[in-house]
Amino acid sequence: MRIKTALMAGFGLMIVGAAPALADAKIYPYHASANHCPAGLQPVTISGVICCGTPNQGMSYQSVMMHPVKKKKVHKRHTHRVRAVSTYDCPIGTKGCSN
């Protein structure tokens, strides 16, 4: 009896854990020249895998992948900067520098 209860509890936790992943899955229509799916279904892509189903997105997977995405600019912070100091004496208007 305890094994059956433990198995049912484990199965229930597995279903609850997988529900958000299944609810948020983006299913895109896949535009193909031939439709080999059963009646009422069409080729779709789920995470890049082509299979039969009904799409829940308006755009095709190919058009989503072609669309350019703006990349976020990362601004790096410099904690300290080293200032370059010249040891040469270079007066304006003369040719070359002296040490």
Q: Containing H/E element for 51?
A: strand 49-53
Task: Give the pLDDT score at 22.
Answer: 55
DSSP 18: H
The tens place of each residue's pLDDT in the chain, 99 residues long, gives 577 675 555 555 565 555 555 567 888 888 888 888 898 898 888 877 889 999 888 888 777 777 677 778 888 887 777 777 777 778 888 887 776
Please state whether the predicted TM-score (pTM) of the whole model is above 0.85: no
Given this model, what pLDDT does residue 32 score?
81
- pLDDT, position 82: 73
**Radius of gyration for the chain, computed over Cα atoms and rounded to the nearest angstrom:** 31
Q: What is the DSSP letter of 79?
A: S
